[in-house]
Amino acid sequence: MVVAIDGPAASGKGTLSQRIADAFGFAHLDTGVLYRAVGVSVLRAGGDPADNTAAARAAYELHPEHPILQEVALRTDEAAQAASKVAAVPEVRAALLDFQRRFATHPPGGAPGAVLDGRDIGTVVCPDAQAKLFVTASVEVRAERRLKELQRRGIPAISSDVLEDMKARDARDSQRAVAPLRPAVDAFVLDTSALDADQVFSMAVAHIGSKTGLKPAA
């Protein structure tokens, strides 16, 4: 059983995916972490994330037990911007495909299903997923959510910079030639601009139930 959850930055797809995974006893893979790890690896090697050769090399070196995948450094805006540059390189996407598909078909810990969140899960990575959601919100709402998150974590940030960075990342992610950010034709599009996380969770559970017949445990 695979649940695919896609959407732009700070739309709430990671929060939703973890809750869905917990509720159904599924394993969760935040695929953005893989692209962030590749971007950070390139930066650390002194390279340019937009350089195809450097990005592809870093992607082929990544494996599920690589320690970089656990680093908090992946959560920075610098890592996010580098991720969206390496993500436009076709060889990088190809190198990360097996990793993601293997997680979907063989969820760790013998879990009965997997939730993958990203940009192209429903369109490219798992086109046969039993349930697909595309979680979105206006760019202003998403920037506000990210700003509050940064403030909560004690990271100084300027509202206008967060908004501009998000617009730049949205543009790169949706305009790239390979696997651009867009809803799968059979995805349930959930605009969360005016919904809190509990409302989003309830709507997602109802959609997954309608597609699979599954109900969350307890």
Ligand X SMILES: Nc1ncnc2c1ncn2[C@@H]1O[C@H](COP(=O)(O)OP(=O)(O)OP(=O)(O)O)[C@@H](O)[C@H]1O
Ligand Y SMILES: Nc1ccn([C@@H]2O[C@H](COP(=O)(O)O)[C@@H](O)[C@H]2O)c(=O)n1
Residue 156's alpha-carbon distances to 74, 139, 147, 148, 159, in angstroms, are: 17, 20, 9, 10, 10
Residue 52's alpha-carbon distances to 62, 90, 95, 130, 201, in angstroms, are: 16, 8, 12, 34, 38
Does position 11 bind ligand X by CB under 6 A? yes
> Which residue lies nearer to ligand X by CB, 54 or 121?
121
Residues in 138-177 that interact with ligand Y by CB under 6 A: 169, 173
DSSP code string of 71-110: -GGGGSHHHHHHHHHHTT-HHHHHHHHHHHHHHHHS-GGG
> Stretches 20-28, 91-99, 178-186, 189-197: which one binds ligand X (CB under 6 A)?
189-197
Whether residue 7 is annotated as binding a ligand: the answer is yes
> Which residue lies nearer to ligand X by CB, 20 or 56?
20
Does position 133 bind ligand Y by CB under 6 A? no
Q: How far is the CB of 168 from ligand Y (least distance, A)?
A: 10
Inter-residue contact 14 to 125 (CB < 8 Å): no
Angle at CA of residue 175, ends 39 and 98, nearest 5° = 50
Does position 69 bind ligand X by CB under 6 A? no
Site of interaction with ligand Y (CB under 6 A): 9, 31-32, 35-36, 80, 83-84, 87, 118-120, 169, 173
Site of interaction with ligand X (CB under 6 A): 7, 9-15, 32, 145, 149, 192, 195-197, 200
